């Protein structure tokens, strides 16, 4: 068999999901590190887990595993539409936000189209651009490592189709001030779609942050991506959603596989939305952990960026791999950022009290 002749031309640009230490499931980490207890602070997972109401709803849905799910998830869409003040036609569900990022690329990108991506941001924008054989155009960050909208505007050409913004941004935790977004959207040509990934929306606490959902009804070419994987603690079942112009939503429906969002996930997401008390709890836990980590970083003299997510970007002024390895020896896994050319920084997820305590103790031992 000649695999080279079978695969698409874009194949050399694609990479399988890496399975470095930071990406391994907890059980595998325990084996590799030979530890009974490991703290995985590399995935931005919720340390709280779903509420009992969510688990109950999902258990109930298991009794109907023989049935196909509702293809468009009407009941869940109704709840989201009500919460977000949008029409159901402006909303579609997806098999996680990652799935939606791929669907957007498949719906809109032709070979050679250009996609503008900030230099330091979530990696799936680049992966789906490569998947379609489109051309990534990187925009540099501001000196404070936040997203530079001016640099993005300067890179728009006749070939630009999509612009990816992550707000709050993973891995820096920075936000784009709301006042900058509207001015930016006014400058973007109407044949370009601006995708705003709000995976960490619920965690954002900067006064200058605001969701971009409102720009959909104002007629701007924006498409907002959200997920149930982070604050809602449902990463395992894969469910997210997108909000945009009804015509954009309809275009994605032309491409989407009919049953991409499973019934268990739909049931869990609906129950999760209806349990906002649990969301408040998750925010409070994150807030507390954030404060403890800021104190640690201040104490040891490491520069961190104020975060609007459930993770912190920290610049240690020294080789990040060394710190990563020393933490791993102690059963703590964080994320290095060398893929972005950042040799001195780490991204640390804000874990539960036990995880944060273990991290703080470990850092004090290491330095
Ligand atoms: C975690 C994350 C996602 C992925 O969400 P899923 O719904 O689990 O696919 C998307 N975007 C950003 C910025 C993320 O950090």
* Per-residue pLDDT band at 19 (split at 50, 70, 90): confident
Q: Class assignment of domain 52-275?
A: alpha beta
Q: What average pLDDT does this structure show over 165-184?
A: 98
pLDDT of residue 364: 97
Any ligand 1 atom below 6 A from CB of 69: no
Task: Return the ligand 1 atom nearest residue 235 CA.
Answer: 8
pLDDT of residue 17: 86
- CA–CA distance from 323 to each of 6, 22, 203, 315, 352 (Å)? 43, 13, 27, 11, 21
> What SS3 state is found at 40?
strand
Using one digit for the tens of pLDDT, what is the confidence trace for 262-306?
999 999 999 999 999 999 999 999 999 999 999 999 999 999 999
Task: Return the ligand 1 atom nearest residue 239 CA.
Answer: 7
Q: Which of 2-11, 16-25, 77-86, 335-344 has the lowest mean pLDDT?
A: 16-25
Q: Class assignment of domain 3-49+277-366?
A: alpha beta
Ligand 1: residue whose CA is nearest its atom 11: 199
Q: Which residues contact 194 (CB under 8 A, 6 or more apart)?
A: 162, 163, 165, 184, 185, 188, 220, 221, 222, 223
Any ligand 1 atom below 6 A from CB of 229: yes
Two domains, one topology: 3-49+277-366 and 52-275: no
Using one digit for the tens of pLDDT, what is the confidence trace for 301-358?
999 999 999 999 999 999 999 999 999 999 999 999 999 999 999 999 999 999 999 9
Any ligand 1 atom below 6 A from CB of 235: yes
Q: Is the pLDDT of residue 18 over 80?
A: no
Output the CA 130–ligand 1 centroid distance in Å: 18
Domain locations along the chain: 3-49+277-366, 52-275
């Amino acid at each position: 068999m000649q695999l080279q002749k079978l695969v698409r031309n874009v194949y050399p640009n694609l990479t399988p999901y890496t399975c470095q230490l930071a990406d391994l499931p907890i059980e595998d980490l325990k084996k590799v590190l030979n530890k009974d207890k490991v703290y995985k602070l590399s995935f931005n997972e919720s340390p709280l887990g779903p509420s009992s109401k969510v688990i109950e709803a999902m258990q109930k849905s298991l009794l109907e595993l023989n049935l196909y799910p509702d293809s468009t998830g009407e009941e869940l869409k109704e709840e989201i539409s009500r919460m977000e003040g949008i029409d159901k036609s402006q909303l579609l569900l997806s098999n996680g936000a990652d799935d939606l990022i791929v669907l957007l690329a498949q719906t809109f990108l032709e070979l050679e189209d250009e996609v503008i991506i900030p230099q330091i941001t979530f990696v799936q924008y680049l992966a789906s651009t490569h998947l379609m054989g489109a051309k990534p155009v990187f925009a540099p960050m501001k000196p404070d490592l936040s997203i530079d909208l001016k640099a993005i505007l300067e890179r728009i050409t006749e070939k630009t189709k999509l612009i990816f913004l992550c707000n709050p941004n993973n891995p820096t935790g920075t936000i784009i001030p709301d006042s900058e977004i509207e001015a930016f959207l006014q400058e973007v040509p109407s044949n370009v779609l601006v995708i705003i990934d709000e995976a960490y929306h619920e965690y954002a606490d900067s006064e200058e942050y605001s969701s971009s959902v409102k720009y959909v009804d104002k007629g701007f070419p924006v498409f907002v991506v959200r997920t149930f994987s982070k604050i809602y603690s449902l990463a395992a079942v894969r469910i997210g959603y997108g909000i945009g112009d009804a015509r954009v939503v309809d275009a994605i429906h032309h491409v989407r596989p009919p049953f991409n969002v499973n019934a268990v996930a739909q049931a869990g997401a609906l129950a999760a939305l209806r349990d906002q008390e649990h969301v408040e709890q998750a925010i409070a836990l994150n807030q507390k952990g954030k404060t403890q980590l800021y104190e640690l970083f201040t104490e040891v003299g490491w520069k961190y960026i104020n975060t609007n997510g459930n993770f912190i970007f920290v610049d240690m002024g020294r080789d990040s791999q060394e710190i990563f390895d020393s933490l791993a020896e102690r059963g703590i896994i964080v994320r290095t950022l060398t893929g972005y050319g950042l040799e001195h920084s780490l991204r640390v997820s804000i874990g539960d009290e036990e995880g944060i305590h273990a991290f703080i103790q470990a850092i004090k031992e290491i330095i």
